[in-house]
Amino acid sequence: MRQDDEQDARGLFGGVFARGRVDVSDTAWLQAMLDAEAGLARALERAGLAPAGAGEAVTAAARAKDFDPNELGQLASLTGNPVPGLARALARRVPQTAAGTVHRGATSQDIVDTAAMLLAKRAADVILADLAQAADVTAGLADAHRSSIMIGRTLLQQAVPVTFGLVAAGWLASLDEARQGLAAVRARRLAVQFGGAAGTLASLGENGPQVATLLATDLGLTLPALPWHTDRLRIIDLGAALAGVTAVLGKIARDVTLLAQSEVGEVSEGGGVAPARESRQQPGSSPRRGGSSAMPHKNNPVASIAILGCAKQMPGLLATLVSSAEQEHQRAAGAWHAEWEPLTAMLRLAGSVASWGTDLLSGLGVDSSRMAANLKATNGLPLAEHVASLLAGVLGSAQAHDLVAEAATRAVNAGLPLQDVLLSVSGLEERLSAAGITAEQIESALEPSGYLGAAGTFVTAALQAHEALKVSNG
Query: Which residues are known catalytic residues?
Result: 292, 331
**Coil, strand or helix at 160:** strand
**C-alpha span between 353 and 17 (Å, rounded):** 8
Q: What would the DSSP string read from start to end of 27-88?
A: HHHHHHHHHHHHHHHHHHHHTTSS-TTHHHHHHHH--GGGS-HHHHHHHHHHHSSSHHHHHH
Answer yes or no: are the C-beta atoms of 279 and 4 closer than 8 Å: no
Structure letter (DSSP) for residue 120: H
Q: Which residues contact 398 (CB under 8 A, 6 or more apart)?
A: none
Instruction: Output the CA angle 377-380-382, nearest 5 degrees.
Output: 100
**C-alpha span between 269 and 290 (Å, rounded):** 9
Instruction: Output the CA angle 441-443-448, nearest 5 degrees.
Output: 110
The identity of residue 171, as a single letter, is: W
Look at residues 315, 307, 399 and name the one whose alpha carbon lies nearest to residue 354. 307
Q: What would the DSSP string read from start to end of 259-296?
A: HTSTTT-SEEPPPPPP-S-GGGPPTT----TT--SS-T
Give bridge partners of residue 366 from the DSSP assignment: 267
